[in-house]
Structures are given as structure tokens and as C-alpha cells.
Amino acid sequence: MSELRWVDWADHESDRVRAAGQWRAPRDFDALGPVGTIDGRPVVSFASNDYLGLTAHPAVIAAAHAALDRWGTGAGSARLIVGSRPVHTELEHALADWKGTEAAALFPTGFAANLGVLTSFGGPDVLICSDALNHASIIDGARFSRAEVTVFHHADADHVDRLLAEAPGRRAIVVTDTVFSMDGDVAPVDALVEVCARHGALLVLDEAHAVLGPDPDVAGATGAEVLRIGTLSKTLGALGGYVAGPRRFVDLVVNRARSYIFTTAPPPATTAAALAALGVVRSPEGDALRGHLRRLVDRVAPGHPSPIVPVVIGDEAATVTAAARLLDEGLLVPAIRPPTVAPGTSRLRVALSAAHTDEQVDQLVAALAEVRTP
């Protein structure tokens, strides 16, 4: 018999997390859009990835209602069995057209999309070059792929060039976020396209947070093979993920990705919501929403390339205190601490949305100035 029971192990590990000051638990935010309540207190959230406010858009909600009435609450099966509905295929065609690719395939989440793509193309004979600040889903996908994984310096295309030059003739994948989720900075996509074309590497771009760009013209990238991964849960305000790219690559993913094959298809209602949201994004209204979001970002951090604005404080305790002060003023801005970010870089992560008003952002800017003051 084991000397340590599982319950003892679980208590010990929980105590370790608590002792490190990193214990977390969900808290309910009762809201439709950025304004709601937490424990009965009115709060404006600056924590959501609903960048264009489409979770509450009337056309998006109506599309979900109509799909719910037509197809019910769930697909009931995997896509390759009997879980595929016309709305799944329609969204895939629309996503491919949006991204300028031949085809697209839906996944239940963006996390599942990264796992599915990297495990489909990886293997023991493959080299994966992954940005140092890539999302956890990319890290896990690379690990599960059984490929050799090399981490390149953050946003450093020259480092990628050197790594690929040291592995001539080897199948290689370069994978990166295009907008990084904790710093809100952007990858050198054009330079990476050039490097991958020169070495014959497959470039995998995770565009989950790229509501304001970059939006590369990969169709015109001579000699570069590119797969574009995205999520339906941020810019499109629904739920799910996708991969878009050359048809032969997407078809291979459909036939090899375990996170696609062995999971129930996304609910028709969320798929229909994403399709309606994509229609908004590609319309003049979508242009106006992005323009408003761009102006809000410039009010907080002029010239910053994305709606993710980090306010780095450094010390964990001080960051948690700052977040608590903001919450007392009715502003929800999460404290991001290790292990999500490196020790000494704890920060407030501001996420702006087109659903925010100028007045709400003015309140945020004033409150941030106060918590930054010693």
C-alpha cells in the first residue's frame, strides 16, 4: 500500500499553492456585456476578451436562438459521425473566405485547435520552433506532438532563422501567437513568413487576440506554407476554435487530429452565433467597432497595438492589492501572477472592448494613475 494517500497528497499540494499566495477560485460575474455585479456590487469589467462586444449583439443572440430552435442544445455526436450540421459547414466556408484560405475546420475550443494542428503535423522527426511567450495551448500541443521542441527568443525572427539553418533538410514547424495574451505585443509575422519560406518550414499562426491585426496576406506569401488558427470566443463572442489554410492541410487535420475526431461537435447555437458575429465583423458596423476600440486603446496606451494593455507592477502582493483597490472603485482588472507570467513581472491585465464607453475608460485611466502612485 502506498504510504501517502491520494487525499493527503491533494491536501499537501493545495497547501503548497496557498502558501505561495497563488490559490485561485472562480467568482461569478452576473453580466451581459462589460457591466454587471460581483457579490451584489456594480462592476465594470476590463477583464474580458469580448473585444468587439459581440456576445451581447442582437443579431448574434438572435442567430443563436434560431439555431437552438432548429437543432436543439447540442450536436449529439462528433462531426465525422452524425454531429455535423449545415451551420458548421457554412461557418467553415465563411472563415476560409475571411482568412483568404482554401478551407477551414472547426474545433470545440481554440485550445483544442492548437492541440489538433500541432499533433497532426508534429512527430519524432519534426522540429518545432516555438516563441518563448506562446500560449499554454501551443506549449501543450508541441509537447503532445512528440516533436523536438526548441524555444526561440520572443518575437525574434533572426533567432528562428538560425535555428532552422542548424537543421537543414529537416521538417520544421514555426509556431507563434500573433498577439501575445499577457503583453499585448505582436509577432514579426512578415519576417517569420520570409524565414519559413526560405527554409521550407510550416508557419502556424495563432490569431486568437488579433482583433486589431496583424492580418497578413498569407495567400500571397511566395513559398510559405501557413496555417492560421483562431478562436470563436474572443473577437466573435461565441465559443470554439478553427484552423484555416490549404485544403490538403485542413483535410489532413480532419483525419488526424484527435481533438477533432474524438469530441462532440460544437453546439449549433454557438456556431450560428459565431457565423452571425463574423457577418458583423466584415460589415461597416464591424469597421466602426474596431475604430472605436482603437480609439479606446489609444486613451489608455497611445499606439499600443492591441486591446490587451499590461500594467506591470512586479511584486505579487502589490499587484493583488492594486487589483483590490480598483475593484473597490467598481473596476474589475485582474491581477496576473506566476505561474501565468514570470516571477517579478506580476501585472494588471487591462482588456478593452468596443462595448466600453469613453466615460468608463476615463474612469479606468484615472484609477490606474492612482494605483501606480506609491
Confidence at residue 223, expressed as pLDDT on a 0 to 100 scale: 80
The pLDDT of residue 1 is above 60: no
Instruction: Quote the pLDDT of residue 221.
Output: 61
Residues of the chain with CATH 3.90.1150.10: 25-51+307-372
User: What is the per-residue pLDDT for 218?
Assistant: 77
| Domain 25-51+307-372 class in CATH | alpha beta
Q: Provide CB contacts within 8 A for 50, sequence distance 6+.
A: 33, 34, 234, 237, 353, 355
The three-point CA angle 256-259-263 to 5° equals 115
Residue pointed to by grid coordinates 499553492: 17
Identify whether the C-beta of residue 239 lies closer than 8 Å to the C-beta of residue 55. no
Would you state the cell numbers that stand for residue 221, as one nine-digit string? 506569401
CATH 3.40.640.10: which residues of the chain? 58-281
pLDDT (average), residues 75-92: 98
Mean pLDDT for the chain overall: 96
Task: Between 99 and 219, name the one with better pLDDT.
Answer: 99
Other C-beta atoms within 10 Å of 170: how many? 14
Contact 224, 189 (CB under 8 A): no
Cα 114 versus chain centre, distance: 10
Instruction: Supply the angle between the helices 268-281 and 58-71 in degrees, to the nearest 10.
Output: 150
Exposed / middle / buried, residue 26 (Cβ in 10 Å: 0-12, 13-18, 19+): exposed
Q: What is the pLDDT of residue 123?
A: 96
Each residue's pLDDT tens digit, 8-55: 999 999 999 999 888 889 999 999 999 999 999 999 999 999 999 999
Q: What is the mean pLDDT of residues 175-204?
A: 97
What pLDDT sits at residue 373? 66
Sign of the alpha-carbon dihedral angle for 353, 355, 358, 360: negative
Helix (H) or strand (E) holding 349: strand 346-351
- Res 177 pLDDT > 70: yes
Domain spanning 58-281: CATH 3.40.640.10: yes
pLDDT of residue 7: 95
Q: What is the mean pLDDT of residues 104-121?
A: 98
Gap between the Cα atoms of 59 and 65, Å rounded: 10
Task: Show the DSSP H helices in the chain as ranges.
Answer: 6-19, 58-71, 86-99, 110-121, 136-144, 157-165, 189-199, 247-256, 258-261, 268-281, 284-300, 316-328, 358-372
Share of the chain above pLDDT 70, in %: 98
Say if CB 53 and CB 353 are below 8 A apart: yes
pLDDT tens for each residue of 122-160: 999 999 999 999 999 999 999 999 999 999 999 999 999
Q: What is the pLDDT of residues 239-280, one digit of tens each?
A: 999 999 999 999 999 999 999 999 999 999 999 999 999 999
Amino acid identity of residue 46, one-letter, is F
pLDDT surpasses 90 at 2: no
Q: What is the pLDDT of residues 269-321, one digit of tens each?
A: 999 999 999 999 999 999 999 999 999 999 999 999 999 999 999 999 999 99
Average pLDDT over residues 105-112: 98
CA-wise closest residue to 171 among 243, 115, 120: 120
